């Protein structure tokens, strides 16, 4: 097993509710020479608390249902190469909106930028607002709520309004029972949400 690069602990609401805060502290104390960071939701809430040990050779080992007393053991198992079957993501899995969830520190803007953050905004700002709205329409982008309303159409309504001031609001309401997708996005990739809002504001003329 390669040397440990850093250790990631899922510290979204699902992880915190399962005790990830204590896991984070325990690993911080045990791994004195390895960075330990909190990340957003890994997408496997049933298995929380989750820890990912990221190695220098690009491989990772995931541990689920971790307890504080497991901290030292996780380091020993990984460093000594005694963990024989590392968990793998599904090979056919393709993530778009959540591609960085559970992979970066949510509040580290530089890490977001290093992983392609704000590139879409740069591309949008090189276009006219009308072109941006048309691109969103052609992409078939829809809202994440139950209605699935076409985003491009919604943006076109706001863009057409001739008023002194327009305000774009991110509606992260989770009124539906068991609907946690908005919270997960805000906790895992907040800068991505901000980037989307900046693009939307530019496309619609919002201030």
Band (202; pLDDT cuts 50, 70, 90)? very high
Choose the weakest-confidence range: 36-45, 47-56, 68-77.
Answer: 68-77
Give a yes or no: residue 85 inside a domain.
no
Q: Say yes or no to pLDDT of 17 above 80.
A: yes
Could you give the number of structural domains in the chain?
2
Q: Look at residues 15, 39, 40, 24 and name the one whose alpha carbon lies nearest to residue 74.
A: 24
The answer to pTM > 0.85 is no
Whether residue 190 sits in one domain with residue 137: yes
Domain that holds residue 72: 4-79
> Does one domain contain both 74 and 117?
no
**pLDDT tens digits for range 124-133:** 999 999 999 9
Alpha-carbon torsion, ordered 129, 130, 131, 136, to 10 deg? 90
Q: What is the CA radius of gyration of the chain?
A: 20
How many CB atoms are located within 10 Å of the residue 132 CB? 22
In a domain, 14, yes or no: yes
pLDDT band per the 50, 70, 90 thresholds, residue 148: confident
Nearest to 197 by CA among 187, 188, 206: 206
Within-domain flag for 131: yes
Q: What is the CATH number of the domain that holds 34?
A: 3.40.30.10
């Amino acid at each position: 097993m390669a040397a440990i690069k850093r250790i990631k602990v899922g510290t979204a609401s699902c992880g915190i509710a399962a005790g990830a805060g204590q896991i984070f502290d325990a690993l911080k104390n045990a791994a004195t020479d390895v960075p330990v960071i909190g990340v957003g939701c890994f997408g496997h809430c049933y298995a929380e608390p989750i820890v990912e040990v990221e190695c220098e050779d690009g491989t990772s080992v995931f541990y689920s249902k971790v307890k504080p007393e497991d901290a030292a053991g996780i380091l020993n198992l990984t460093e000594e190469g005694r963990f024989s079957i590392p968990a793998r993501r599904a090979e056919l899995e393709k993530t778009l909106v959540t591609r960085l969830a559970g992979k970066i520190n949510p509040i580290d803007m530089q890490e977001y930028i290093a992983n392609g953050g704000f590139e879409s905004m740069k591309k949008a700002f090189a276009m006219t607002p009308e072109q941006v709205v048309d691109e969103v329409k052609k992409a078939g982008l829809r809202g994440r709520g139950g209605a699935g309303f076409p985003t491009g159409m919604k943006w076109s309504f706001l863009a057409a309004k001739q008023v002194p001031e327009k305000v774009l609001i991110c509606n992260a309401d989770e009124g539906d029972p068991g609907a946690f997708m908005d919270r997960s996005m805000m906790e895992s990739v907040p800068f991505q949400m901000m980037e989307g809002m900046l693009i939307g504001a530019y496309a619609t003329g919002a201030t």
